[in-house]
Amino acid sequence: MPVGKRFLFTIITLLVIAVAASLAIFFAKGYRVSPTERRILGTGIMTVSSEPDAASVFIDGHLTTATNATVSSLSPKKYSVRLVKEGFIPWEKEIEILEGVVTEVKATLFPAIPTIYPLTFTGVDNPVLSPDGSKLAYIVPTGKKGGVWVWTLSRNQPIAFARSAEPHQIAQTGQIDFSQAILRWSADSKQVLATVSGNNFLLEDNGINQEPRDITPILDATLQGWAEDVESKEATRILALQDGNLRKIASDSAFLRWSPDETKFMAKNEEVEKDEKGLISGISVYDLELNQSHQLPPALAHLWLPDSKHIILVEEGTISLIEFDGTNKAVIFAGSFLNNFVFPWPDSSRLVIISSLPTPTASEPNLYGINLR
């Protein structure tokens, strides 16, 4: 073969190899030729993770993989994704896959039958959670331990009463009967106001108050100072919003609740009204990162879970968790709990309620934990 032809043959061979390699890479990246649309279509990738992991992943009803995993070469469209793990409430959501985009799916699975157990045994009345969510003040109504108690909620320690996490008494019932006291936290979560028969005692939360200070003469000034502190903090948060529309929504809202990480807020612009069942409707969640809003279902109360991804819905006789976009409602508790009172543990590992569930040592209402993990 002449040198010129041999050179031409080599060039053609190299071109064929290059084209073949490019096509292989092209298809490996998920691109496909669509005869119907007469164009080259890209695909997307879905990464699926869950807490706990090892959940079965169903995509459009087909068992595809298990979390944590990556699913490649998905045509751009909406898919029904369902995660199933034995002993946990199934999770399901419609996920849109975009061309050339990696879409993350992160799900939290909650126990189908959560463990419920008593946290206190001496009786609990009039509980009040501190503004920062880290402390609980309550009344022990009777007995030698009667008085005002504070429980500092530990994020890192287990629910068992480790020494540094034990509830501690800050005021004893004696000359002053605290059994019917109405409690209120200061704006900085460091003091408790106990109102007893028209008298108002300011209690420090870090130890026993041997001589509770009666601040009735300066009550109005004290409450006004606390209110101004709260308003100042809210104003600072609102002014930090860069989107003018969101800033107006937050400032005009009659109901405003920030997520713990302050990347979202719940709001209701109209006056908060309850229907004949006591349900509050019309509350929306505004996602500051994605600039999206989501309508929440009606409930007696809407509370943030500290993970800032879920919302606690309090309904008559039930407590549920939903994602902040209003999807994946999971009933966590159905039964008797008092005054619709519920609050989350700071690490999102459990909910706490007041109930009169009978135990061998408790006949009065007490605090009960409901495990979420």
3 three-state secondary structure = helix
pLDDT for 339 equals 81
- For the chain, residues with pLDDT lower than 70 are 1-10, 14, 16, 18-41, 155-165, 271-272, 358-363
pLDDT digits (tens, 9 = 90+) for 66-106: 999 999 989 999 999 999 999 999 999 999 999 888 999 99
Which of 51, 85, 108 corresponds to the end of one domain?
A: 108
Q: What does the alpha-carbon distance between residue 297 and residue 326 come to, in Å, rounded to a whole number?
A: 7
53's CB contacts (< 8 A; 6+ apart) are 66, 67, 68
Are 40 and 154 found together in one domain?
Answer: no
Are 172 and 291 found together in one domain?
Answer: no
Which of 233, 198, 234 is closest to 219 using CA atoms?
Answer: 198
Task: Work out the angle at residue 330's Cα, subtended by the Cα atoms of residues 329 and 332, and round it to the nearest 5 degrees.
Answer: 140
Question: Domain holding 359: CATH number?
Answer: 2.40.128
pLDDT for 18 equals 66
Q: Is residue 81 part of a domain?
A: yes
Q: What is the distance of C-alpha 234 from the center of its chain?
A: 20
Are 246 and 301 found together in one domain?
Answer: yes
Q: What does the alpha-carbon distance between residue 3 and residue 9 come to, in Å, rounded to a whole number?
A: 10
Q: Which residue has the tokens 């429980």?
A: 151
Which of 12, 21, 109, 147 is closest to 310 using CA atoms?
Answer: 109
Are 261 and 343 found together in one domain?
Answer: yes
Are 178 and 308 found together in one domain?
Answer: no
Which of 106, 103, 108, 58 is closest to 81 using CA atoms?
Answer: 58
Backbone angles phi, psi at 188, to 5 degrees: -95, 5
Q: Is residue 2 part of a domain?
A: no
Are 181 and 128 found together in one domain?
Answer: yes
Give the domain range for residue 330: 233-371
Are 348 and 247 found together in one domain?
Answer: yes
Q: Is residue 72 part of a domain?
A: yes
Q: Is residue 22 part of a domain?
A: no
Give the sign of the dihedral formed by CA 169, CA 174, CA 175, CA 177.
positive
Are 182 and 277 found together in one domain?
Answer: no
pLDDT for 356 equals 84
Domains held by the chain: number: 3
Are 197 and 249 found together in one domain?
Answer: no
159 three-state secondary structure = coil
- The strand order across the sheet containing 284-287 reads 255-258, 264-268, 284-287, 292-295
pLDDT digits (tens, 9 = 90+) for 99-125: 888 999 999 999 999 999 999 888 999
Q: Are 347 and 306 in contact (CB under 8 A)?
A: yes
pLDDT digits (tens, 9 = 90+) for 149-193: 999 987 654 444 443 457 999 999 988 999 999 999 999 999 999
pLDDT for 185 equals 97
pLDDT for 29 equals 53
